[in-house]
Structure 1
Amino acid sequence: MTTMTAGGLPVDGATLHYQVRGQGPLLLLIPGGTGGAAAFDEIADGLAAEYTVATYDPRGLGRSTLDDPEAEQHVAEHAGDALRLLDLLSPDRPARVFGTSSGAIAALHLLTARPERVARLVAHEPPVVEVLPDAAEHRALIARVRETFRTQGLMPAMAVFAAGLKKDGDAAEPKTEPELRLPPQAAARAEQTMAGLPYFVGRIVPSFMSYAPDVRRLGELTDRLVLACGEDSRGELPYRPAALLAERFGTPLLHFPGGHTGLTTHPAEFGERLAEALRA
């Protein structure tokens, strides 16, 4: 196994817990949801054969503590955290970046705000629903999630959120395909995932899914932007923004194995596809 070192980075309003393994040009992996650095445990060692791989817990999740636990969260602030890590670990040359889900939203903001610091970005299913023609419907979904969380609690809010992400006409029940039989390491992370859900639903979802990216600026940066989706996500809400942007920019849409959580359900194949995308 590749040797890993860990550190703590003070940033404005928080302290980030990060991990570094491997050597070579920097690759920063930005997780989505509540996964934190551990979400990349099953692919980071393989990538560390080519890169210095940095993973971290986003502020407010896992071991990255907030100075004010009740602080509101903002995409620009999370992108700034990623920039601080780039400046710490690769101060003299731009880095490769991978982000998934909410982490991909932060990564898109990083790219538009500081493009000179990003050599290549692979953005996997960023749910930037404001770019969609039916964005108003998704604003209503976010409002329903917030109100349900406030009045009924976490699990009812999660049910509303999950139903809103599905394809039109899909039943609300969870899928039972084999891909959702999680690998042992992923199953062991369930406790951390549950612990972070109130913060994610209450503060990350409303802020991040209300974020409108600078589409014009992204269109000027397609030489270093790879938009990606899951093979099994077609038609679902997290798939649609990246697909729409790729079509608008006239760039290929890269497909990863699995669905929105393909990193968890298909880690080996996901890591291989990411390595290919970073080399291209």
Structure 2
Amino acid sequence: MSHLEVPDARLYYEVRGSGPLVVLVGAPMDAQPFEPLADLLATDHTVLTTDPRGIRRSTVADRGADSTPELRADDLSRLIAHLDAGPATVLGSSGGAVSALALTQAHPEQVTTVIAHEPPVTELLEDVEDLRARTEDIVATHRSGDVEGALRKFLLLANLHLPEQIVRQMVDDRDEQATADADYQNDRMMRPTVYWRPDLALLRSVPSRVVIGIGEDSTGQLCDRTSRALADGLGVEPTSFPGGHVGFAEDPKAFAERWRAVL
């Protein structure tokens, strides 16, 4: 466990194991949910996990500045260079998949394979105008102080169906850190992430292998739609992974087995 100073931020990261470098990254998800998967992969790989800038243990100089995919890609590039263990296989999940794709576009020499697991690239969808309006409504609702309302609107937009007990816990059990992370996600991370449009021509031309992952249980969800649109734009078949949007945390063993088979 350590920190790396980068422009306008201080990144928290963890390193496990030895061997070829693997990077596991989310956004806004921090490093903790990746720990079981990281332990499984660290038997024969060097595994890097990190909190994205502005989230949990990674601090930023200005919490009023946006966390863009380009900035987060630069952070990942600096971490890989700092470890001097690349190039890397990069598994990004959700917003972290957007970060991983941005990294691949900017620094393909640092990425052997990128597995973009359910990236919310809504700009590729036909109903993008409606999705933008609903995203703006989520941000405005959260900023108004209606945290629960914003969460419920987000789940509805993503077509994620969680038990009511879990939703209540997500609202009622938030500590100071979770509240700060949710504020930063809604204020400074969500819009730059979902409004980011991948450069399909560039991604088709990079030497890195680009894999678009979709959870087996994600059918019909927003990130199932965006992932399929991205795969179609790249001219590749999407790759199925166990579980849903966070399948790597739901069943790390099954996910690790599939990850190894894909590679």
2:12 to 2, 13, 17: 17
Unaligned 5+ segments in structure 2 are 167-172
With over 3 angstroms needed to count, the CA separation of the structure-2 counterparts of 1:65 and 1:223, relative to structure 1, is closer
1:151 equivalent to 2:144? Answer yes
1:47 to 41, 48, 71: 41
Q: How many residues align?
A: 255
Q: How does 1:219-234 map to 2 (within 5 A)?
A: 219-221=204-206, 224-234=209-219
With over 3 angstroms needed to count, the CA separation of the structure-2 counterparts of 1:223 and 1:82, relative to structure 1, is closer
Shift of 1:190: 7.4
Q: How does 1:72-151 map to 2 (within 5 A)?
A: 72-90=66-84, 93-151=86-144
1:174 equivalent to 2:162? Answer yes
1:198 equivalent to 2:194? Answer no
Q: Which residue of 2 aligns with 1:160?
A: 153
With over 3 angstroms needed to count, the CA separation of the structure-2 counterparts of 1:223 and 1:114, relative to structure 1, is closer
Shift of 1:207: 1.5
Aligned AA for 1:70?
Answer: G
2:232 to 247, 250, 254: 247
Name the % identity. Answer: 36
- Bigger drift between 198-207 and 17-26 goes to 198-207
* Aligned counterparts of 1:243 and 1:120: Cα–Cα separation in 2: 18
Secondary structure in 2 matching 1:121 = strand
* CA root-mean-square deviation: 2.1
Shift of 1:135: 1.2
Shift of 1:198: 1.8
1:135-162 Cα offsets, whole Å, 9 max, x none, are: 1111111111111112243221111111
Shift of 1:247: 2.5
| TM-score normalized with structure 1 length | 0.85
Checking the alignment, whether the CA contact within 8 Å between 2:120 and 2:223 is kept in structure 1 is yes
Aligned AA for 2:221?
Answer: E
* Aligned counterparts of 1:87 and 1:253: Cα–Cα separation in 2: 30
With over 3 angstroms needed to count, the CA separation of the structure-2 counterparts of 1:260 and 1:213, relative to structure 1, is same
* Aligned counterparts of 1:73 and 1:193: Cα–Cα separation in 2: 17
Checking the alignment, whether the CA contact within 8 Å between 1:128 and 1:241 is kept in structure 2 is yes
* Aligned counterparts of 1:28 and 1:115: Cα–Cα separation in 2: 14
1:151-187 Cα offsets, whole Å, 9 max, x none, are: 24322111111111118xxxxx6348xxx8xxxxxxx
Shift of 1:223: 5.5
1:256 to 224, 241, 248: 241
